[in-house]
């Protein structure tokens, strides 16, 4: 952008009005046509003025020149050239960041082309391979939004889910990423059940569910140690109602037996032990629950009206 004052000059000055120059007694006299009187200028002063004008002209010339350079249009690279350069950087150089930038350029320079669509899914994949998970999620979501009916939409959704999945932390930390991973994986299985990605997503869902169940068990045991049995029951209840297919459900039923016994709610303790024994008769957790109930002078006995009996379903091994 040319500054305003330079723009005025670059537009060209108005044509000067006629003026005359006369020499009187060795002094140059300029007489503009519009003025009635003459202006006297000594030769030395006139030379200095001309030098200054020349220097100013040399200073302003590069600035005006630079501003005109900005107006030059640089032609876009062909989309296939950018795309192939991205593939080369990805496959041969394993330079994920540079490759992703090439794919971004395809989308930026040729946004409505089929190359842009291909480059966008490659961008999501490249960022995933480079463990730039947030960027991969962003590109994947953009692809699904722009091209929901594409044959690659399932893979884009799978990349989103996998990016969350690869960030699942251990159970000592917040499990927000685990929840997001499970939700995204469930979307793959629900929307694209006939694809190869659905089978992989289902396996990863079970891992994510196990992690969430483990977190609930950790908190529940903490409440038990603090003798906050109501708090512990609420956590173990989540495992029994939401994560029945995980390996933690057996311990959850035994911990429910413990917590209910500690509160003196014997009938619920009996039910928890009975449901545990019915579904996992060889479990070491059932042996512990059975002994605990017997020590309290009771037997495992299922109350069909108990919430445990109503919500528990035998885990599917498939």
Is residue 120 within 8 A of residue 103, CB to CB? The reply is yes
Both 85 and 204 in one domain: the answer is yes
Final residue before a domain boundary, out of 161, 195, 210? 210
Last residue of a domain, one of 70, 102, 120: 70
Same domain for 131 and 55, yes or no, is no
Closest CA to 242 of 179, 184, 296: 179
Query: What is the domain range of residue 220?
Result: 215-311
pLDDT at 76: 75
Predicted confidence (pLDDT) per residue in 134-188, tens digit: 999 999 999 999 999 999 999 999 999 999 999 999 999 999 999 999 999 999 9
Task: Round to whole Å and give the CA distance between 261 and 243.
Answer: 23
Answer with the one of 184, 210, 236 that is the final residue of a domain.
210
In a domain, 318, yes or no: no
As given in the structure block, the two tokens for residue 147 are: 């091209």
- The reply to whether 157 and 241 lie within a common domain is no
Number of domains, the chain: 3
- Quick check: is 317 in a domain? no
Q: What is the pLDDT of residue 174?
A: 94
Q: What is the CATH number of the domain that holds 228?
A: 1.25.40.10
Averaged over 268-277, what is the pLDDT? 97
Whether the CB-CB separation of 273 and 286 falls below 8 Å is answered with yes
What CA–CA distance (Å, rounded) separates 164 from 170? 14
Report the distance separating Cα 159 and Cα 91, nearest Å: 18
State how far Cα 55 lies from the chain centre: 55
Residues 116 and 234 in one domain: no
């Amino acid at each position: 952008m040319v500054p305003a004052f330079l723009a005025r000059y670059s537009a060209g000055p108005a044509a000067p009005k006629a003026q005359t120059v006369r020499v009187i007694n060795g002094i140059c006299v300029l007489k503009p046509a519009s003025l009635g009187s003459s202006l006297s200028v000594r030769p030395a002063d006139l030379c200095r003025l001309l030098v200054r004008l020349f220097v100013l002209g040399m200073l302003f010339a590069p600035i005006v020149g630079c501003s005109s350079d900005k107006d030059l249009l640089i032609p876009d690279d062909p989309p296939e050239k950018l795309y192939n350069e991205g593939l080369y950087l990805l496959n041969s150089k394993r330079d994920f960041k540079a490759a992703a930038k090439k794919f971004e350029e395809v989308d930026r320079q040729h946004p409505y082309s089929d190359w842009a669509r291909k480059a966008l899914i490659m961008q999501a994949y490249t960022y995933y391979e480079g463990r730039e998970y947030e960027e991969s999620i962003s590109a994947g979501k953009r692809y699904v939004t722009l091209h929901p009916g594409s044959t690659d939409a399932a893979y884009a959704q799978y990349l989103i889910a996998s990016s969350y999945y690869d960030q699942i932390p251990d159970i000592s930390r917040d499990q927000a990423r685990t929840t997001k991973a499970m939700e995204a994986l469930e979307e793959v299985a629900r929307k694209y059940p006939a694809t190869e990605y659905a089978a992989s997503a289902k396996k990863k869902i079970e891992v994510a569910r196990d992690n969430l169940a483990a977190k609930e068990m950790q908190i529940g045991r903490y409440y038990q140690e603090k003798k906050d049995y109501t708090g512990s029951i609420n956590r173990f209840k989540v495992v029994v109602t939401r994560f029945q297919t995980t390996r933690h459900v057996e311990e959850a039923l035994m911990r429910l037996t413990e917590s209910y016994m500690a509160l003196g709610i014997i009938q619920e303790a009996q039910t928890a032990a009975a449901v545990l024994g019915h579904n996992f008769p060889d479990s070491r957790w059932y042996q512990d629950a059975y002994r605990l109930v017997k020590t309290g002078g009771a037997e495992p006995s299922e109350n069909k009206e108990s919430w445990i009996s109503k919500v528990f379903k035998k885990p599917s091994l498939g």
